Chains A and B, each alone.
Chain A
């Protein structure tokens, strides 16, 4: 029996179901939208499709020792067989599996293979993210216009810079002021340290490439020095446990759970509703505007409507596409705001396929001490100022070195016991992975499957997203360039790989509801506002016109805060 049959409509609600603002999704961008709207005094409803996860209280594995995991973090075969998609994610393990969506919970269609990694709970994937927070530069925003792909961004770096500062101060971003135009500095807390071999590589790369390539410490969302603004959130200094995906009892890294949601709660303006699956946004054809959202209770499947003057869609990039595509009215028969026909199209992501590893036989009298929730970072150096290769755009890269130490397990019996009780250092290991910009194309799209529904009776999302020749060339170039950089730095045993991972596994899927200057070719304007439905704002990854190379979350945070500020001002002027 179709579960839709059991959905009950409740359209008589009003009091208790009417708010100034509704935010759909409590992940990294939704948390920011909610916080900013509450800070502006707006009565805000924050809807989350998954269960509630309260900071600390709902982190069941956070203080567990390695030996307390039955399979030492390896997932049992029964689970990996049932969940071939999420099992590919590096972070899906015994200590964190409860924060991931299992394959059967929310099925989707793969016209082309796409690994859709999701976290449905209060806080979303902000509990699981890799916490790298690099700003975009003007070269990134200018990319589509200069290189003639996608559409021109309606905003520039200068429009976003103050909002980067705004979110960085609150979230707590550790970083070094490197003074690079390709990766602007931010409001940094003290940086983590590059280790000896990373510094060696940084020096060698600077020398060998005339100061045009850089190896720096990553900027990341860790409180390396707790300022009053962090203490006010109830967060403390990061303790370098590096088990962030379990949830952090110190609030040492930024998550919605540790930061924006409890902050918004304190304002007294926030209503948080978990287990609330948004079906669609309500467009009132008589009033000629959107008036609210339809929500299905995840357990009872009852449908309720909630009303507000402004709606922020932060459902995570692909689910935001799904909600807009499923929001059908006479005014918008092809999805909310979709006069241009581009809704769901121009999906892009980051190309993480290639890796390189090697060894370094220097600094043998040195080691590292403690753990670091961060790594080295190589900002994009290809095609930055002008086109110089046979592919468009470029890649950034992670880079880390570590001193391998371990026991000797070569023997048997008493010899083995002796070997295991020695701690021998070998040489240093080095490794890097690429983060390539992909070009948004009309042929990379998501759409609603015409037949298949999910457990809530909502159409399944169908993915048609793939790599192209530009990506293949970039993989090859990364491998060649990094090999040369490794060789020049004296690294040995160099091995390059192409993991051929499917799109999606990067968990940086973006686009489909892109920003642009022209309503004929985009869905959102420069304030992340739907051109044709101005009280709807989209500020998660769906809004991205292009992807650049930087880990995207910081940019979503800044866009969310900026759009919420604008929306609140417009509301007060009576313009929404």
Chain B
């Protein structure tokens, strides 16, 4: 029995034996690291916020595609300390805003209530709240539209197009 790292053999569709290197063994989402930027309450606020921005409808919602994990990972790994601190602060402020406006924790609000806060923040000019709303929405949309679900089911991503046609009918 060969070791996992060893090259494994597969029988290809042409009936010939193909050599496939170990990295072709398949990918699992749990190969990714779990981000640890946010506290547990902050993670819950972000999860509920992503759920409000991208709710489950007749198509998958952001939460079931793990968009909140993607957003946290991107802020943790690709942005500097000041952005990370502001991101955490704004999540806390979102909770405070929920208490001020509705007398409840953000996570206890219903979806329209949650959405009303982030939309209000988004409508401001040049405030930290506006910046937060833009970045969380931008990353949420990126996470959603680069997910396996979206690329395979909606945008029909092809790894191997094997063609280029420079001028075809738009409806083809």
Bound complex: CA of A421 vs CA of B154, how far in Å? 7
Bound complex: CA of A57 vs CA of B142, how far in Å? 31
Q: Which residues on the A side are within 8 Å of B7 (C-beta)?
A: 57
Q: Which residues on the A side are within 8 Å of B53 (C-beta)?
A: 412-413, 416
Q: Which residues on the A side are within 8 Å of B160 (C-beta)?
A: 239-241
B166 engages A196 (CB within 8 Å): yes
Q: Encode B85-111 as 1/0 by CB contact (under 8 A) with A.
A: 000000000000000000000000001
Does B165 make an interface contact (CB < 8 A)? yes
B154 engages A63 (CB within 8 Å): no
Return the chain B residue nearest A61 by Cβ: B23
Q: Which residues on the B side are within 8 Å of A57 (C-beta)?
A: 7, 21
Which chain B residues numbered 150 to 171 have a C-beta less than 8 Å away from chain A?
150-151, 154-155, 157-170
Q: Which of A60, A407, A416 has the most CB of B within 10 A?
A: A416
In the complex, which range does the number of interface residues on chain A fall in? 35 or more
Q: Which residues on the A side are within 8 Å of B74 (C-beta)?
A: 71, 74
A63 engages B166 (CB within 8 Å): no
A365 engages B170 (CB within 8 Å): yes
Q: Encode A183-194 as 1/0 by CB contact (under 8 A) with B.
A: 000000000111
Which chain A residues numbered 381 to 429 have a C-beta less than 8 Å away from chain B?
407, 409, 412-414, 416-417, 420-421, 423, 425
Bound complex: CA of A195 vs CA of B74, how far in Å? 36
Does A371 make an interface contact (CB < 8 A)? yes
Q: Which residues on the A side are within 8 Å of B161 (C-beta)?
A: 239-241, 370-371
Q: Which residues on the B side are within 8 Å of A372 (C-beta)?
A: 164, 166
Q: Which residues on the A side are within 8 Å of B147 (C-beta)?
A: 67
A369 engages B55 (CB within 8 Å): no
Main secondary structure of the interface of B (DSSP, over half): mixed
Does A77 make an interface contact (CB < 8 A)? yes
Does B77 make an interface contact (CB < 8 A)? yes
In the complex, which range does the number of interface residues on chain B fall in? 35 or more
Does B32 make an interface contact (CB < 8 A)? yes
**B172 to chain A: closest CB distance in Å?**
7
Q: Which residues on the B side are within 8 Å of A74 (C-beta)?
A: 74, 78
Bound complex: CA of A70 vs CA of B69, how far in Å? 11
Bound complex: CA of A420 vs CA of B150, how far in Å? 9
A413 engages B52 (CB within 8 Å): yes
Does B132 make an interface contact (CB < 8 A)? no
Of the residues B24, B80, B122, B165, contact of A369 by C-beta under 8 Å: B165
B146 engages A369 (CB within 8 Å): no
A239 engages B162 (CB within 8 Å): yes
Q: Which residues on the A side are within 8 Å of B168 (C-beta)?
A: 366-369
Known: A63-B159, A66-B151, A241-B159. A370 touches B169 (CB 8 A): no
B169 engages A417 (CB within 8 Å): no
Task: Given contact pairs A195-B166, A370-B158, enumerate 12 new A-B contacts (beta carbons under 8 Å).
Answer: A65-B148, A74-B78, A76-B78, A77-B79, A239-B161, A364-B170, A365-B169, A365-B170, A370-B164, A372-B166, A413-B115, A416-B54
- 22 pairs of residues in contact across A and B, judged by CB atoms under 8 Å: A63-B23, A65-B148, A65-B151, A67-B147, A67-B148, A70-B73, A71-B74, A74-B78, A76-B78, A77-B77, A78-B77, A192-B164, A199-B167, A366-B170, A370-B161, A370-B163, A371-B164, A412-B52, A412-B115, A412-B119, A413-B111, A420-B154
